Chains A and B, each alone.
Chain A
């Protein structure tokens, strides 16, 4: 079946602009996760949704970052007033049930802030 998909695959923006990154989880998966991966590092947790609600948003670095999952399926990560330090690969994962569960990752969105 279809895996986790993320769009766009690449995004180039200018400092100060607003960006939205989209994640489509595996159908039927109730939990969804966002991570950020910088070059040469492991993924860094951002936020975890169980259904429509954010069960844990402790990884969001500051109030410029926000994520929603209004219908419990697709999620959007929103970044306001982007900074060059936001450049990274943003990974989305989903799992069938509530954590702890095997997480299935999407291919990521590579964000470059100029």
Chain B
């Protein structure tokens, strides 16, 4: 079936710590994207990463499409990193506009 699974579901960090969030996706999903939803509900696109590695400041992401997983790295975490991180993919053979989201990883960064 079509699956996007994220781990861990919850994560608590002390400010300054590093973390890795994981997303596993089924064969029928491609074109991975990572989003951050802040505590006010706004969803921000972090990375469009169907394969390979991208970096943006303290954040980086790697997708290994052949092994059906993607990782989001957060370094030197800050309290403003708190919120829910979602990965999402598109369905093979679908319209490409149909994003399937995981259930998210809820991150809390403590000062």
A interface list, Cβ under 8 A from B: 31, 33, 35, 40-45, 48, 50, 55-56, 58-59, 89, 91, 93, 98-105, 107-108
Q: Looking at A40, A89, A103, A107, which has the most chain B CB atoms within 10 Å of its CB?
A: A103
Residues of A within 8 A of B98 (CB): 45, 48, 56, 58-59
* B40 smallest CB distance to A (angstroms): 8
Partner of A45, one of B48, B100, B102: B100
Partner of B101, one of A40, A43, A104: A43
* B63 smallest CB distance to A (angstroms): 13
Indicate whether A41 sits within 8 Å of B103 (C-beta atoms), given known contacts A99-B90, A102-B48: yes
B interface list, Cβ under 8 A from A: 31, 33, 35, 40-45, 48, 86, 88, 90, 94-104
Q: Looking at B88, B97, B101, B103, which has the most chain A CB atoms within 10 Å of its CB?
A: B97
Q: State the CA gap A100–B31 with chains docked (Å).
A: 8
* B102 smallest CB distance to A (angstroms): 6
Partner of A31, one of B43, B94, B97: B97
Q: State the CA gap A99–B45 with chains docked (Å).
A: 14
How many A-B pairs with Cβ below 8 Å?
Answer: 67
Partner of A50, one of B86, B97, B100: B97
Supply 8 further A-B pairs (C-beta < 8 A) apart from A56-B94, A105-B44: A31-B97, A42-B102, A43-B86, A43-B101, A45-B99, A48-B95, A55-B95, A58-B94
Contact B44 A99 (CB under 8 A): no
Q: State the CA gap A50–B94 with chains docked (Å).
A: 14
Q: State the CA gap A62–B104 with chains docked (Å).
A: 26
Q: Looking at B33, B101, B102, B103, which has the most chain A CB atoms within 10 Å of its CB?
A: B101
Q: State the CA gap A101–B48 with chains docked (Å).
A: 8
Nearest B residue to A91 via CB reads B43
Nearest A residue to B95 via CB reads A56
Indicate whether A107 sits within 8 Å of B41 (C-beta atoms), given known contacts A56-B94, A102-B48: yes
A-B residue pairs in contact (CB < 8 Å), sample of 14: A33-B97, A42-B88, A42-B102, A42-B103, A43-B43, A44-B101, A55-B97, A56-B94, A56-B98, A100-B96, A103-B45, A103-B99, A107-B40, A107-B41
